[in-house]
Structures are given as structure tokens and as C-alpha cells.
Amino acid sequence: MFLLDYSYLIVQGFEMTLVMTFLGLGGGLVLGVLSALGDVYGGRALRALIGAYVEFFRGSPLIVQLLLFYFSVPTVTGVRWDAFTAGTVTLMLNSGAYQKGYFKGAIEAVFKDQLLAAKSLGMTFWQTLRHVVLPQAFRVVIPSWTNEYVSLGLSTSALIVIGLRELTTVSKSIAAQTFKPLQVYLLTGLIYLIWISASLKALDHVYSRVRIPGLEVSAEAS
């Protein structure tokens, strides 16, 4: 069991993978909700800006985005940043672009008649958003959001191109040192698999806890 000698490295790498996934998803959630709101309720200039942002991050490979941010930001701004910061920012922006699409659909799924009803009660725009639109949008978005979790979680392996020591990067160096690529990469794949299926189970549980009759989603994905 040569792998035991490297287990602490693998654990460290997996920890980094988790951290990057949650930072990317969390930041992407904030960016996604804000850009969805901007796209639905904003003016023309704001909508064009959001459109360009989403187009860029959904229309180019994550690896190219990582390389671009990690290597070109220091040369343009003169500020050096490490792989961790560059990777986090890129993942957030990338995930935000996808999450924007999911949230926009969910916000628009709250029917106009409810907005009019809120208005008739004297609720302000912000009260309506907070108490009527977002609580429904968050529930409707869960299945698509689950997909984003899986997709971003697995995509963190792209961080290998900027040398961040997450699970894939670590595995590659162990494989190189031990000359046992088959065992190392099989184990790595297994770790991703177990992690993702456990997460899916957990998210399913969350979904059933917050489910409301009549707000089920004909899960287009998931």
C-alpha cells in the first residue's frame, strides 16, 4: 500500500478541491443572483454588460479563462497574485455566468399576477423581491443548481493548468513520483465519484426539506 505514504497529500489536495468548489459556487451564487436581477429589472446598458459577461464565460473554455486571468492580470495591472486567488476569482466569475441563467429563469417563473398582488397590498419593489420573488426562485432553481455544483466541482481539476495543488494536480505529481499512474488515477477518480454522489444525496435531502406543494420543478435537468 504505497499510497498510504502519500495519503496526507491526497487529503490536502481534496481539501483544496472542496475549498475551491465552495468558494466558486458561493461567489457564483451572489454574482448569478445579482446579474439575473440586473438582467430582469435593469436598464439597457446594464443588460448589455451582463450579456457580454455571461457570453464570455459560457462561451470559452474554463482552462483558457484560468490561464488568461492567472497570467495576464499581473502583466496588465502590475499586481502579482497567486494561483489560489486567480483560481478563486475565475471560478466565481465562471460559475456566476451559469448561475445567472438558472436564476433568471426561476425569477421569471414567478408569475406576473403575484407581482401585481404584492403591489396591491402596498409592498415596495424590494419587499416584493425579498418576500415573494426570491423565496420562490431559490426553490425553483435547486435542480439546475445541483447540476452546477456537480459541473463546477469536477471542473476544479482544470486548476492544474495554473499549478494550484488541488486533487488532480496532487495526483499527477504522485503518479510521476511513484510510476504507478493506473492506481493513482483510479483512486483519484474514485474520490471524485464518492464525493459527488454523496453530495447529490445530501442536496436531494435539502430539496425535499424545503419542498412546497405546487412549487415542484419538472426537473429539466438533474
Binding site for another protein (CB under 8 A): 111, 113-114, 116-124, 127, 131-132, 135-136, 139, 212-215
Query: What values do phi and psi take at 198, rounded to 5?
Result: -65, -40
CB of 220 to another protein, least distance (A): 19
CB nearer another protein, residue 117 or residue 193: 117
Q: How far is the CB of 200 from another protein (least distance, A)?
A: 24
Question: How far apart are the C-alpha atoms of 143 and 146, rounded to whole Å?
Answer: 5
**Nearer Cβ to another protein (114/151):** 114
Distance CA 111, CA 131 (A): 14
Identify the CA nearest to 107 among candidates 78, 82, 76, 130: 130
**Residue 136: half-sphere exposure toward Cβ, Cα within 13 Å:** 18
Residue whose CB is less far from another protein, 201 or 209: 209
Q: How far is the CB of 23 from another protein (least distance, A)?
A: 29
Query: Kind and range of the H or E element at 130?
Result: none
Nearer to another protein, 182 or 212 (CB): 212
Min separation Cβ 136 and another protein, Å: 5
Could you give the CA distance from residue 26 to residue 36 in angstroms, rounded to a whole number?
Answer: 15
**Which whole-number Å values give the CA distances from 7 to 87, 156, 187, 190, 201, in the listed order?**
24, 20, 11, 14, 26
Q: Please report how close the Cβ of residue 112 comes to another protein at its closest, in angstroms.
A: 9
C-alpha cell at 166: 488541488
Closest CB to another protein among residues 45, 212: 212
